[in-house]
Structure 1
């Protein structure tokens, strides 16, 4: 019995290159949504500090925006997309489905954060509620763009050029 450095995901004979390509297909949703969430949260943190609530409770703001939110949103969206879209849909249909799932999941997360912030007051939701609610159209657009990257030929070429 020979020892392999990889686990084959299907019953056909495969090589390590095929296994690595398959692995990346399942990692892309997490990486794209983690990266997008991190960029968005950096912007939200900057606006929260510079415009809305200052440096009050800075440790909590940083932990929430730069650690918990991107990991939670990236992990949730990566898992959901892998379950419902990867290997089942392709093209614009998959991009629209990705946008819809993004809107449902990430909007729920945004609404939860809005309500938590109304309680804790870290980011100024009580004084600036529209800062939280204008994000819903942006969530759909980012979800659709990520869907185009993951589920179209041109998008996959871009991801390969980026090393994904």
Structure 2
């Protein structure tokens, strides 16, 4: 018989406590970007209803803004931040990288949504294109503030005080 190369998943009580603490490090980016995306999408839905296109196609608007977009953006950003930043960088470099990744990913999502809306006409992009494009500075700010929360000691304390 050959020796097993599989990792033993049964751990001691000390390791269980350490794993629970480490789990928060990997869950926080998903939760933070999901909540940020949900808040932004609620604002975008309200703007779409009250300023841009009214309540036409309200089911599609609600599904896209409150279900698909926050899950997709939160999941994508959480996964990318976990893969490329968590456990590799901390402090100002991690904040900078989080900001850049946010602008690229969430900005790319905004461009995609704008172009899709030119085809499907759910949100009024053809009549109000600037309502889509004013978001880029906000996207950069969200990336920066999320990076500060995730990758500074003060931010870690603040997230812990929220129970995350």
TM-score by length of 2: 0.91
Q: Does 1:78 align with 2:78?
A: yes
State the Cα distance separating 1:48 from its structure 2 match: 0.3
Distance 1:51 1:140 in 2: 24
Q: Any stretches of 5+ residues in structure 2 without a counterpart?
A: 1-8
Distance 2:113 2:128 in 1: 13
Aligned to 2:151: 151
- The number of aligned residues is 156
State the Cα distance separating 1:13 from its structure 2 match: 8.5
Aligned to 1:60: 60
SS at the partner of 2:71? helix
What CA RMSD, in Å, does the superposition of the two structures yield over aligned residues?
1.6
Moved over 3 A (4+): 11-14
State the Cα distance separating 1:15 from its structure 2 match: 2.7
State the Cα distance separating 1:92 from its structure 2 match: 1.1
Tell me the alpha carbon deviations over residues 43-93 of structure 1, each in whole angstroms, 9 at most, x when there is no partner.
000110011100000000000000000000000000000000000000011
SS at the partner of 1:56? coil
State the Cα distance separating 1:18 from its structure 2 match: 1.1
TM-score by length of 1: 0.91
Aligned to 2:37: 37
- Higher mean alpha-carbon deviation, 17-26 vs 72-81, is at 17-26
Equivalence map 1:90-101=2 (5 Å) = 90-101=90-101
Distance 2:36 2:148 in 1: 14
Q: Any stretches of 5+ residues in structure 1 without a counterpart?
A: 1-6
Distance 1:16 1:35 in 2: 28
Distance 1:52 1:87 in 2: 43
State the Cα distance separating 1:12 from its structure 2 match: 9.8
Aligned to 1:23: 23
Q: Does 1:130 align with 2:127?
A: no
